[in-house]
């Protein structure tokens, strides 16, 4: 073997991938989430009906030109589900990105802070966590307006506290390790140490948590929309579809069941992804499994 | 030439406990000093203080001059410049001293690249050489392995290769063989001895094990409760200890050895 291919390649001897159960988890999660993402992508270029097309007659049952029937205003349910998937995914992604950006920055800072600053940050995060997400969201929505952006901002803010607290603990734990001291004794500067050693080592735990937060954000957005605090009409959010179908549940259950089922599928999907990621990202578990 | 000049080094915790007390010693270029003491005697803290790496809440006082640069109270920026070039550390527990998520080769490449400025293919070749120098078999395979995929002795060799990659003037070895099996321990000690001799590197060897220190060091400094109780050529310290504490240590070590002799004589 030559020394030229010494770095950055998977060891030939060690079975890195393996364990059918793990890849099955990840695969199942990706499939579920992928299906809904596909729905959202298709909705960008094609919809069965226009979103404001009320020609279908009220509360029509499934079949007869409407795959899942229509709602109480005569709009096609499947069309609404498709546009709703866009909102659900956007809410999840937007919130998680906001939470990751603010949370990781705050968490790393808090981990490095000492004395009163550390205490203050920790207390601030605890308060933010103790503050109910929905209440925070209502405040944000009241201060701004009921748009998807407000909802995402509110959910992202609330989640950033959770992420920050997790990151703070993870970073502190990593900083106490000898390899950080070793890196520093070899003259690695703090920024390089954080980028090269700290972040990669908290990444497996962090990314699993972010995946879970994605699921929670989707649920939170649905909750906000249910309360009328999410994306305003005529945008069809799954949460609002649930709310609108509530009154007619006994006569036309499809209107409530369909968005509910999709919501569950998406959340279960990202949770499966989180589980699968946890097992594949850590080289130590990777080996134990194989 | 004095490489390391420690004068009145004192380390205190935030609540005022003194962990290292008024320590004074010198180390010339190419010289080997053994720092002896039981756990809790302040050995490791001393080594950390030498590089300005004390844990949060601990403060160092006194003076530590490493190659003419004052370490105590120096800014992080100046310390980063001193570390690595002047001194590198090998730690006791090789598993935690290596980043678990980074392939071994890259961990060696990092300080190597910083010192030499090599890139790509040349850097890879240099990493291979560095692994070869610490007598690791199959350097290609080891470089691509994660730390948990190689054995304890191999990990410590990797850590040694990382430290040597900086070509430091001073190698600080903090109980580098304590976590290893006895047979592996001897091999690593021999290797350390050879490598350091080849480079005329100064060594600060920290250990609780008299026999190990006797093998590596020229001079010995005995620490008890953060204070230096005895200092001198290592053979004198072990052969004719003057301090009460050193005598206890030596007697204890001899008893162990005697037990070994007795058993094998049977």
Complex-level ipTM? 0.75
Judgement on whether residues B190 and B115 belong to the same structural domain of the protein? no
Query: Which of these, A113, A117, A141, A147, lies nearest to A235 by C-alpha position?
Result: A147
In this complex, do A184 and B53 lie within 8 Å of one another by their Cβ atoms?
yes
In this complex, do A5 and B124 lie within 8 Å of one another by their Cβ atoms?
yes
Q: What is the pLDDT of residue B24?
A: 92
Q: What is the pLDDT of residue A10?
A: 41
Q: What is the pLDDT of residue B180?
A: 79
Q: Is the pLDDT of residue A12 over 50?
A: no
B249: domain CATH number is: 3.40.50.300
Query: Of the residues B134, B150, B167, which one is the last residue of a structural domain?
Result: B167
Q: In chain A, what residues touch B101 (CB-CB under 8 Å)?
A: 200-201, 203-204, 282-283
Please name the member of A8, A178, A282 whose beta carbon is closest to the beta carbon of B93.
Answer: A178
Q: What CA–CA distance (Å, rounded) separates A161 from A164?
A: 5
Q: In chain A, what residues touch B111 (CB-CB under 8 Å)?
A: 186-188
In this complex, do B56 and A8 lie within 8 Å of one another by their Cβ atoms?
no
Q: What is the pLDDT of residue A22?
A: 58
Judgement on whether residues B241 and B199 belong to the same structural domain of the protein? yes
Mean pLDDT computed over A214-221? 92
Q: What is the pLDDT of residue A11?
A: 43
Rounded (5°) CA angle B206-B234-B86: 45
pLDDT band, residue A20 (cuts 50/70/90):
very low
Judgement on whether residues B123 and B254 belong to the same structural domain of the protein? no
A84 beta partners? none
Q: What is the pLDDT of residue A168?
A: 92
Q: What CA–CA distance (Å, rounded) separates A157 from A142?
A: 15
Q: What is the pLDDT of residue A15?
A: 42
Q: What is the pLDDT of residue B6?
A: 92
Q: What is the pLDDT of residue B29?
A: 87
Judgement on whether residues B149 and B219 belong to the same structural domain of the protein? no
Query: Of the residues B123, B147, B167, which one is the last residue of a structural domain?
Result: B167
Read off the DSSP letter of residue A5. Answer: G
Q: What is the pLDDT of residue A5?
A: 43
Q: What is the pLDDT of residue A266?
A: 94
Q: What CA–CA distance (Å, rounded) separates A267 from A252?
A: 24
Q: What CA–CA distance (Å, rounded) separates B152 from B147?
A: 9
Rounded (5°) CA angle B205-B60-B220: 25
Please name the member of B91, B124, B148 whose beta carbon is closest to the beta carbon of A182.
Answer: B91
In this complex, do B143 and A188 lie within 8 Å of one another by their Cβ atoms?
no
Mean pLDDT computed over A50-75? 74
Mean pLDDT computed over A103-127? 87
pLDDT band, residue A119 (cuts 50/70/90):
confident
Query: Which residues does chain B have with pLDDT short of 50?
Result: none
Q: What is the pLDDT of residue A286?
A: 54
B63: helix, strand or coil = strand
Q: Is the pLDDT of residue A113 over 60?
A: yes
| B92 found inside a domain | no
Higher per-residue confidence, A230 vs A192:
A192
Q: What is the pLDDT of residue B265?
A: 67
Q: Which residue of A has its CA nearest to B168?
A: A186
Please name the member of B81, B106, B149 whose beta carbon is closest to the beta carbon of A7.
Answer: B106
Look up the CATH superfamily of A22-27+71-289.
MetI-like (1.10.3720.10)
Q: Is the pLDDT of residue A169 over 70?
A: yes
| Ranges A247-251, A265-269, B189-193, B198-202, most confident | A265-269
For residue B43, what are the domain limits? 2-86+170-265
Q: How far does the CA of residue B221 sit from the closest CA of chain A (Å)? A: 23
Judgement on whether residues B179 and B65 belong to the same structural domain of the protein? yes
Judgement on whether residues B154 and B111 belong to the same structural domain of the protein? yes
Judgement on whether residues B109 and B79 belong to the same structural domain of the protein? no
Is the minimum CB–CB distance between B93 and chain A shorter than 8 Å? yes
């Amino acid at each position: 073997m030559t020394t030229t291919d010494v770095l950055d390649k998977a060891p030939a001897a060690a079975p890195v991938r393996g364990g059918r159960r793990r890849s099955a988890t990840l695969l199942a999660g990706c499939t579920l989430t992928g299906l809904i993402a596909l729905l959202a992508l298709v909705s960008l270029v094609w919809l069965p009906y226009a979103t404001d097309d009320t020609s279908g007659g009220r509360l029509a049952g499934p079949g007869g030109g409407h795959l899942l029937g229509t709602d109480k205003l005569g709009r096609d349910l499947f069309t609404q589900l498709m546009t709703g998937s866009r909102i659900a995914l956007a809410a999840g992604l937007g919130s998680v990105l906001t939470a990751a950006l603010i949370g990781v920055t705050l968490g790393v800072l808090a981990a490095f802070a000492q004395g009163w600053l550390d205490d203050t940050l920790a207390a601030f995060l605890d308060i933010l966590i103790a503050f109910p997400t929905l209440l925070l969201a209502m405040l944000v929505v009241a201060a701004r307006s009921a748009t998807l952006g407000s909802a995402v901002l509110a959910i992202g803010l609330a989640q950033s506290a959770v992420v920050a607290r997790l990151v703070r603990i993870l970073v502190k734990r990593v900083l106490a390790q000898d390899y950080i001291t070793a890196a520093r004794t070899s003259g690695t500067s703090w920024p390089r140490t954080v980028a090269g050693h700290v972040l990669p080592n908290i990444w497996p735990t962090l990314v699993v948590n972010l995946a879970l937060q994605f699921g929670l954000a989707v649920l939170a957005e649905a909750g906000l929309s249910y309360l009328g605090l999410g994306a305003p009409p005529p945008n069809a959010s799954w949460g609002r579809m649930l709310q609108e179908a509530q009154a007619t549940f006994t006569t036309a259950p499809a209107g409530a069941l369909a968005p509910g089922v999709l919501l569950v599928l998406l959340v279960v999907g990202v949770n499966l992804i989180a589980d699968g990621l946890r097992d594949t990202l850590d080289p130590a578990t990777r080996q134990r499994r194989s | 030439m004095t490489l390391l000049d420690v004068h009145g080094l004192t380390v205190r915790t935030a609540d005022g406990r003194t962990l290292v007390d008024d320590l004074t010693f010198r180390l010339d270029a190419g010289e080997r000093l053994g720092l002896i003491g039981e756990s809790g005697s302040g050995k490791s803290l001393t080594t950390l203080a030498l590089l300005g790496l004390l844990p949060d809440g601990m403060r160092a006082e006194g003076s530590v001059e490493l190659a003419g640069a004052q370490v105590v109270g120096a800014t992080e920026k100046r310390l980063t410049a001193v570390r690595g070039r002047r001194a590198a550390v090998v730690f006791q527990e090789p598993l935690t001293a290596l980043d678990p998520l980074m392939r071994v080769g890259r961990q060696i490449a990092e300080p190597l690249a910083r010192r030499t400025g090599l890139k790509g293919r040349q850097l890879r070749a240099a990493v291979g050489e560095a692994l070869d120098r610490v007598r690791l078999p199959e350097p290609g395979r080891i470089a691509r392995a994660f730390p948990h995929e190689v054995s304890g002795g191999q990990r410590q060799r990797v850590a040694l290769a990382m430290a040597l990659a900086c070509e430091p003037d001073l190698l600080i070895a903090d109980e580098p063989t304590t976590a290893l099996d006895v047979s592996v321990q001897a091999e690593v000690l021999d290797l350390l001895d050879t490598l350091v001799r080849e480079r005329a590197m100064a060594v600060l060897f920290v250990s609780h094990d008299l026999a190990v220190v006797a093998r590596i060091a020229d001079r010995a400094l005995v620490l008890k409760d953060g204070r230096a109780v005895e200092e001198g050529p290592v053979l004198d310290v072990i052969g004719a200890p003057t301090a009460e504490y050193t005598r206890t240590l030596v007697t204890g070590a001899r008893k162990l050895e005697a037990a070994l002799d007795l058993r094998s004589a049977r």
